[in-house]
Amino acid sequence: MEERHKQILQRNRTNLVKELDPSSLYDLLLEKRIFTHDMIDEIKSAGTRRDQARELVRDIETRGSRAFPLFVEILRETGHLSLVLALQEGAPLGPLQPSDPPVPRPVVQPLPIVSPLDVDKQKIITPITPIQKPITTTPTPSPDGDFLKPRPQRVRRDSLQSYKMDAAPCGHCLIINNVEFDPGSELNNRSGSDVDCERLERRFKELKFIVEVKTNLKQRQIRHELSALSNKDHSPFDCCVVIILSHGTEVSHNRFPGAVYGVDGLVVPVQQITNYLNGRHCPSLQGKPKLFFIQACGGGEKDMGFEVSPEDEVAPPCGGEDDETDAIPMSSSSDSLSTSDEPDARATLPTPSDILVSYSTFPGYVSWRDPRLGSWYVETLDQVLSENAATDDLVTMLMMVNHEVSQNSAKGLYKQMPGSFNFLRKLLYFQAQN
């Protein structure tokens, strides 16, 4: 599929998932050879109507250069006119014009897609001719005849496309909120961090996590809490989340950049934080997503942005004059970065899988926080999760966060760009209310 068509589908994914009735499309998708019977069966097994719609839209992007215009044609024929208009606004379809009334086509006998030995599937293939009655929107029957029966809740199985995320509760969420720092640390207190903490505690409880909040931890205490989390039995759960709200700095690394400060002024590198939950040190989380959200500076550099052309103009700055940073200059203390007693910090460990680290700012740059309203990053993350968790995967939502935060300006001058290091192998959808 052409890249511009993929982008149009991605921009309209939320509306497609919300409004699409996949059952009315299956016959035409087979007739126009966009999908095979096996692919349709896989989409049907996704679960609810919304889950089937999401799977269908995602798979359309993999079906070649003609898939997009044929998909729009099918939407038109099945009465999804509002979706047709939304998709055509981004990509005029050229030769594909509305066919009203439909023009009879010559009878064509296509070769069967299924194997000649697959007798069961051949039995349900019905040749379509232009003289027959108009195509009905009745879904293709399945052997048991009940694949469209509503299910009491979204059931997402582990697959090549997405992680299993239907455990109740979904998993543990540890929030470390460092606000008041020891005078000897020479670090300022982080006013507004409690606002961030309350937002995220509420949000992840709504996403079905067991949330535990720890406040004002020293370096050794941070390590202790991470170790305790690693030693838990995560077998009944599908995911684990760690959120750290603190001052941060830039450190040398070979995998994940940055470090966060304990209230005593000593740091814990992000690289070591992730190692506590990797597949080697936490076997019960093997193959399951481990998510880390870091609200802290990646360094001391302030981003003044760059001028954009008129067509690329961004929204007016919304940062405050009193915004503060969570930045500390790059650490060079051998004591605070010593890893001689940390076996999980060795560079010989395998590359981590199923880990995503989301940073509030680009490595090396400061992260801005309003003393009254909290940080830009957490406020935006909370809002995006609230509005989109029911329809979009995590990586897509983090791109939304990146875009929104990039529109802000601190003191009318400084910018901020969040980002993430993504080692996930599949899409991740949270449990959320539709």
CA dihedral 73, 77, 80, 82 (to 10 degrees): 60
| Positions marked catalytic | 247, 297
CA atoms within 13 A on the CB side of 150: 2
Token pair 């995560």 is found at 234
What is the distance between the alpha carbons of residues 338 and 268, in angstroms, rounded to a whole number? 10
Which residues contact residue 143 at a Cβ distance below 8 angstroms, ignoring those fewer than 6 apart? 120
What's the CA gap between 318 and 332, in Å, rounded? 35
> Among the residues of 266-360, which ranges form H helices?
270-275
Q: Of the candidates 46, 44, 56, which has an alpha carbon nearest to the alpha carbon of residue 16?
A: 56
What does the DSSP 8-state code read for residue 108? -
Q: How wide is the angle at C-alpha 168 spanned by C-alphas 162 and 174, nearest 5°?
A: 85
What's the distance, Cα to Cα, between the start and end of the chain in Å? 30
CA pair distance 144, 33, nearest whole angstrom = 24
Look at the block and give the residue holding tokens 């066919």.
99
Q: Length of the chain, please?
A: 434
Placement of tokens 């052309």 in the chain: 309
**Could you identify the residue written with the tokens 């979904």?**
170
> How many other CB atoms sit within 10 Å of the CB of residue 183?
7
What region, left, alpha or beta, does residue 313 occupy, with left being phi > 0 and alpha being psi -120 to 50 degrees?
A: beta
Query: Checking DSSP bridges between strand 355-359 and strand 259-261, what pairing results, if any?
Result: unpaired
- For residue 190, give the nearest of 270, 244, 258 by alpha carbon: 244
Helices 394-406 and 376-388, axial angle in degrees (round to 10): 140
